[in-house]
Amino acid sequence: MYRPITLFTGQFADIPINQLAVKAKSWGYDGLELACWGDHLDVDRAATDMKYVDGKIELLAKNDLKLFSISNHLAGQLVCDPNDDYRSDFFAPKDLSGNPEGKRKWAVNSMINSARAAKNLGINIVNGFTGSSIWHMIYSFPPVSEETIEDGFKYFAEMWNPIFDEFDRCGVKFALEVHPTEIAFDIVTAKRALEAVENRSTFGFNFDPSHLFWQMIDLPKFLKIFSDRIYHTHMKDAVLTLDGESGILSSHLNFGSEGRGWDFRTLGRGGINFEEIIRTLNFIDYRGPLSVEWEDAAMDREFGAQEGCKFLKKLQFPASNRIFDEAFGE
């Protein structure tokens, strides 16, 4: 089983998509995972304007690239985020700055249009974030009641179920990137998020091992537990650089800073065992793309994206359909 290798365009959103498509093909990619920002994809236009959609499809085809998914992380974050400080202003239209509920309303509409855009593009996966109204309470001091945490999961279901209804009408699934600051950030919370929406099949996961690795989550275990919910994957490496001074909370040190307790790395240059991940993906019969999300503060991004593609091409292998010693009895 050789899965297509795609490039997530989010970290390249400043490069016009017609230029990035040429680069991605020259780096060896089979397709793109289009970010819904920059000029890569406007979901509001793609939800209603088939001429715009056809232009995106033609651009990819011209460069012998395929589309398997789109990603609207920024809008998705604002659906459940408190939206009460300047950081979320950068994700929404400028005229909504400082308007928490205005940003939320815009985000809900953007996610609904993401489903419609995906349908028009002929794909059935939208990746993204959900945000979380309770992430800032992760350390229970001042003390947080269980009722408050439960209310956070109920709020997630209240906000996202109407969005998922439109996903269902469009025949599209939503793949949450399990990630700190989201309603699900590890195995326990991923189970709880599924329960909150009554395990509806619309909702699954975009498996990105880098966010789980530094939390010391068992990566193959995650894949096996949620084998029927792995709708997409991001391939990204990470490394623990614990030195006895900074822990996994990273001490307010930015990515790439000396002394930070963990960091992202280009594929194959961190601590993640991708051999085991590929074997487990074979075991659960995941047939979707392996999408490279390049993030490495110490490496040129074009070099890193090209190296990541080569790494995955070398690493992939088809699953066996037999036990090796079966031949002894033939």
Residue type, 249: L
- Could you tell me which residues are beta bridge partners of residue 6? 31, 291
- Could you tell me which residues are beta bridge partners of residue 265? 237
Closest CA to 41 of 62, 22, 60: 60
Report the pLDDT value the prediction gives residue 2, as an integer from 0 to 100: 82
pLDDT grade for 320, boundaries at 50, 70 and 90: confident
Number of domains the chain contains: 1
pLDDT above 60: residue 277:
yes
Alpha helices in 38-140 (DSSP H): 43-46, 50-62, 73-80, 100-121
Residue type, 283: F
Report the pLDDT value the prediction gives residue 317, as an integer from 0 to 100: 80
pLDDT above 60: residue 324:
no
Can you say whether the dihedral through the CA atoms of 150, 155, 157, 158 is positive or negative?
positive
pLDDT above 90: residue 1:
no
Q: How far apart are CA 200 and CA 202, in angstroms?
A: 5
As a whole number, mean pLDDT of residues 84-94 equals 95
pTM of the complete model? 0.96
Asked if omega into 142 is within 30° of 0 (cis), the reply is: yes
Per 3-state DSSP, the chain is made up of helix, strand and coil in percentages (nearest 5) of 45, 15, 40
Query: In this structure, what DSSP letter does residue 135 have?
Result: G
Range of the structural domain that residue 302 is part of? 5-329
As a whole number, mean pLDDT of residues 164-170 equals 98
- Could you tell me which residues are beta bridge partners of residue 290? 5, 233
Enter the tokens of residue 299.
């490496």
Q: Which residue has the tokens 């509409």?
A: 109
Report the pLDDT value the prediction gives residue 330, as an integer from 0 to 100: 60
Report the pLDDT value the prediction gives residue 218, as an integer from 0 to 100: 98
Report the pLDDT value the prediction gives residue 275, as an integer from 0 to 100: 96
Enter the tokens of residue 214.
């530094």
Radius of gyration of the chain (CA): 20
- Could you tell me which residues are beta bridge partners of residue 66? 31
Residue 7 burial (CB count, 10 A): 30
- Mean of the per-residue pLDDT values for the chain? 96
Closest CA to 177 of 217, 220, 232, 226: 232
Q: How far apart are CA 72 and CA 114, in angstroms?
A: 7
- Read off the CATH number of the domain in which 34 is found: 3.20.20.150
Query: In this structure, what DSSP letter does residue 125 have?
Result: E
Q: What does the pLDDT look like over 124-159, one tens digit per residue?
A: 999 999 999 999 999 999 999 999 999 999 999 999
pLDDT above 90: residue 33:
yes
pLDDT above 90: residue 322:
no
Q: How far apart are CA 131 and CA 113, in angstroms?
A: 18
